[in-house]
């Protein structure tokens, strides 16, 4: 009997052009697993499975074996085993992408103004962690390149980071440059309240994950007392069941969610987060999780489905130029927008 689909898995390591620093560590390489599905007619679709080391809930030693098992289920049944894959969001995202690519018959997954090259998706300029001088240079480069929304990684040298924010605000008002900061859980619960108070004076859009994940009561308190909007990111990792998602949002009550399909439930799980957030008046935006251009291309398509044809809020999709050995895809950054060619 001929199976509905055939699957091939390929492991690949990508190399950063320059070290990508966060408060959690520095990335120099990135490993991905690529799934290529082939149907009976010979049509193919490829998806990327890219867990982040020491962060993804499915960053497990036997990742390749588990992925192979789920691919076998897919090739045998022709269907993605969504319930079985909830604990493995990066695998789910890769399989969803491969199926979407296969069914679309090309790289235009959906027929939207973005996929037709008529609209660009606004994106933020990302400034990785470094010395104060390095971060200042990178920040000015982003502004000169046309970005009006800048995201800075913070949480290692608070004094230098505050000086950098002061430098920007002395030259650009909030109506000229929107500033987002991402702490990646760097601050303790004892110091976070005072740090948020200091950050408020720089007219920031938001801060991502000021304290480490799993401290729901402390995060809820910060969201309640801080006038600086708080966005959740790492907090959402591993929260894969619908009722648990509802409980988290109802207890913490954040201002925003920062959604990464490879971390937060694949495409299906990301849709759930967006819908639950909307029901509660919580904003959201989508960002990549350092995937190659294959994953980034799929995430951009998903973003247009989540937020419509004319997206206004800057998304975190400016990672296509990170690697020396990235994969060519029909993507291009012009000014502060990501375009589909």
Phi/psi of residue 239, nearest 5 degrees: -95, 90
Same domain, 131 and 25: no
3-class secondary structure, 339? strand
CATH number at 98 reads 3.30.390.10
pLDDT, one tens digit per residue, over 144-198 is 999 999 999 999 899 999 999 999 999 999 899 999 999 999 999 999 999 999 9
pLDDT above 90 (res 319) = no
Q: Could you tell me what percent of the chain has a pLDDT over 90? A: 90
Contact 251, 216 (CB under 8 A): yes
Instruction: Read off the pLDDT of residues 36-75 as tens digits, 9 standing for 90 and up.
Output: 999 999 999 999 999 999 899 999 999 999 999 999 999 9
Within a domain: 48 = yes
Contact 295, 288 (CB under 8 A): yes
| Residue 297 resides in a domain | yes
Q: Which positions ≥6 away from 49 have C-beta within 8 Å? A: 32, 33, 34, 35, 67, 90, 91, 93, 94, 95, 262
Structure confidence at residue 321 (pLDDT): 85
The mean of the pLDDT values for the chain is 94
CB-hemisphere CA count at 13 Å for 304? 24
Q: For residue 23, is pLDDT > 60?
A: no
Domain range for 281 is 121-340
Q: Is residue 114 part of a domain?
A: no
Label residue 1 by pLDDT band (50, 70, 90).
very low
171 and 97 fall within a common domain: no
153, 217, 245, 337: the active-site residue: 153
- Specify the number of domains making up the chain: 2
Q: Pick the closest to residue 7 from 92, 99, 81 (CA basis).
A: 99
| Interval 72-114: pLDDT, tens | 999 999 999 999 999 999 999 999 999 999 999 999 999 999 9
Based on the domain organization, do 37 and 128 belong to the same domain? no
Average pLDDT (245-249) is: 98
Confidence at residue 168, expressed as pLDDT on a 0 to 100 scale: 93
Among 142, 151, 245, 260, the active-site one is: 260
State whether 247 and 142 are in the same domain: yes
Q: Is residue 17 among the annotated active site residues?
A: no
67 and 144 in a single domain? The answer is no
What percent of the chain lies above the pLDDT cut of 70?
Answer: 98
- Edge to edge, the sheet with strand 125-127 lists 125-127, 149-153, 178-182, 206-208, 230-232, 256-259, 283-286
Q: How many Cα atoms are found within 13 Å in the side-chain-facing hemisphere of 143?
A: 17
pLDDT at 4 > cutoff 70? yes
- Domain-located, residue 115: no
pTM of the model: 0.95
């Amino acid at each position: 009997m001929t199976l509905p689909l055939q699957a091939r898995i390929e492991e690949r390591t990508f190399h950063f052009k320059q070290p990508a620093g966060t408060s959690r560590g520095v990335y120099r390489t990135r490993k991905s697993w690529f799934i290529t599905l082939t149907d009976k007619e010979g049509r193919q679709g490829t998806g990327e499975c890219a867990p982040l080391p020491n962060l993804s809930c499915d960053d497990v030693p036997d990742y390749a074996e588990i992925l192979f098992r789920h691919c076998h289920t897919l090739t045998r049944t022709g269907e993605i085993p969504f319930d079985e894959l909830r604990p493995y969001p990066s695998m789910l995202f890769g399989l969803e992408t491969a199926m979407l690519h296969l069914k679309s018959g090309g790289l235009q997954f959906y027929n939207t103004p973005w996929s037709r090259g008529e609209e660009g998706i606004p994106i933020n300029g990302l400034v990785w962690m470094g010395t104060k001088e390095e971060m200042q240079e990178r920040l000015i480069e982003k502004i000169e390149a046309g970005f009006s929304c800048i995201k800075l990684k913070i949480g290692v040298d608070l004094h230098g980071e505050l000086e950098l924010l002061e430098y920007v605000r002395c030259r650009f008002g909030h109506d000229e440059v929107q500033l987002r900061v991402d702490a990646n859980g760097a601050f303790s619960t004892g110091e976070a309240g005072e740090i948020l108070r200091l950050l408020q004076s720089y007219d920031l859009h938001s801060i991502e994950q000021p304290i480490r994940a799993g401290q729901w009561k402390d995060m809820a308190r910060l969201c309640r007392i801080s006038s600086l909007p708080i966005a959740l990111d790492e907090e959402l990792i591993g929260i894969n069941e619908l009722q648990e998602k509802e409980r988290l949002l109802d207890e913490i009550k954040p201002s925003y969610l920062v959604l990464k399909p490879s971390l937060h439930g694949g495409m299906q799980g990301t849709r759930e987060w967006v819908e639950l957030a909307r029901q509660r008046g919580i904003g959201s935006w989508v960002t990549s999780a350092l995937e190659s251009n294959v994953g980034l291309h799929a995430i951009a398509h998903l973003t247009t489905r989540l937020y419509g044809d004319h997206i206004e809020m800057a998304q975190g999709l400016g990672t296509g130029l990170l690697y020396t050995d990235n994969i060519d895809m029909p993507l291009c950054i012009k000014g502060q927008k990501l375009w589909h060619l």
